[in-house]
Structure 1
Amino acid sequence: MSVNEVTLIGNLGDKPEIVVFPDGSRIAKLSIATSHQWRDKQSGEKRESTEWHRVVLRGNVVNVADEYLNKGDKVYIKGMLKTRSYEDKNGGGTRWTTEVIAYNMQMLNTAPSKPQYNNQRSQQHNNQPNQQYDNPQFGGQQPNPQYSNEQFAH
């Protein structure tokens, strides 16, 4: 048995990049920063390191990300790691990247007046400050580990 699951809570480094494919499908690429703080044992100074994560959203959540997410917003992401290759546009040959393919995204610091999203419908909830989206590709659940990587090809 193996597990390929990632959970992130972090801040967006920029507005989502929306990519439209020839067949009309769209993805949103996010850059999410997470930070770790600690106290240096020798000097007693507070230290911090930041890690950047590439996240890919698919399905209806792309519309939500495009309309509501902005630089600095805090988001919760649950997904799985996928490594893929691509050709460097500047003739640098084949490059590799590892991304989080998200199947759940929750906006943590958006205004309560914005609509809530899940995999079934859009609906106004003025009394709930968090917005959540479960990717319908996975039925709102963790993906079956038997799925092939071809489902994420793009």
Structure 2
Amino acid sequence: MSGTLNKVMLIGHLGDEVKMHYFEGGGCIGRFPIATNETYTNKTTGERVTNTDWHNIVVRNKAAEICEKYLSKGDKVYVEGRLKTRQWQGEDGNTRYSTEVQVQDFTFLSTKKESQANAAQTQKPVQPEATGSAGVEKASTAEQEDDLPF
């Protein structure tokens, strides 16, 4: 392959409100963190372990204004974009770095209230449903945790 690719796709929850920055030329950017989780069962202790990663998200101009208007802390969102690392001089004179996801596309998936309701529903025990005359039981689809938008 002769080309390169810089593409990021994330589904996560907003960790804070969208912070807007406006410029003299009329442009603006919005910044917010997204949390993504990885959950597994520890083989030694049998406990469920959740690791959270935080991602710095940057949206520009009209997209930033839409995010500011409709997104709030805890909402679930899909973002697609590219990684960009910036550097600057800190107040102490040291060089600082920040890696961000510069958004090219996004989709609002659910509000915080909807996410909490779905989480409460999936924590309830699944009751088997009787099917046909063969006596075979099938489990409810509430067991599925796959909520990808595609």
TM-score w.r.t. structure 1 length? Answer: 0.67
Aligned to 1:93: 94
Q: Quick one: percent identity of the two aligned structures? A: 39
Give the paired residue count: 110
Secondary structure of 2:53's counterpart equals strand
Which residue in the other structure is 2:84 paired with?
A: 82
Map 1:4-153 to 2 at 5 A: 4-88=6-90, 90-110=91-111
SS of 1:97's partner is: strand
Structure 1 residue ranges, 4+ long, deviating more than 6 angstroms after superposition? none
Aligned partner of residue 60 in structure 1, secondary structure: helix
Structure with the greater alpha carbon radius of gyration: 2
- The normalised TM-score by structure 2 is 0.69
2:110 counterpart SS class: coil
Secondary structure in 2 matching 1:67 = helix
Q: Work out the CA distance in 2 between the residues paired with 1:55 and 1:76.
A: 11
Secondary structure (helix, strand or coil) at the match of 1:63 reads helix
SS at structure 2 position matched to 1:108: strand
Q: How far has the Cα of 1:92 moved from its partner? A: 4.1
Whole-angstrom CA distance in 2 between matches of 1:31 and 1:86: 20
- Give per-residue Cα distances to partners, 1:7-43, cap 9 Å, x unaligned: 0000000110101123221000010000000000111
Aligned to 1:66, what secondary structure does the other structure show? helix
The residue number in structure 1 matching 2:134 is none
Output the CA distance in 2 between the equivalents of 1:87 and 1:22: 23
Which has the higher mean CA deviation after the structures are superposed, 90-99 or 68-77?
90-99
Query: 3-state DSSP class of the match of 2:58?
Result: strand
Structure 1: which 5+ runs fail to align?
111-154
In structure 2, runs of 5+ residues without a counterpart are 112-150
Query: Cα 1:24–1:91, aligned 2, differ >3 Å: closer, same or farther?
Result: farther
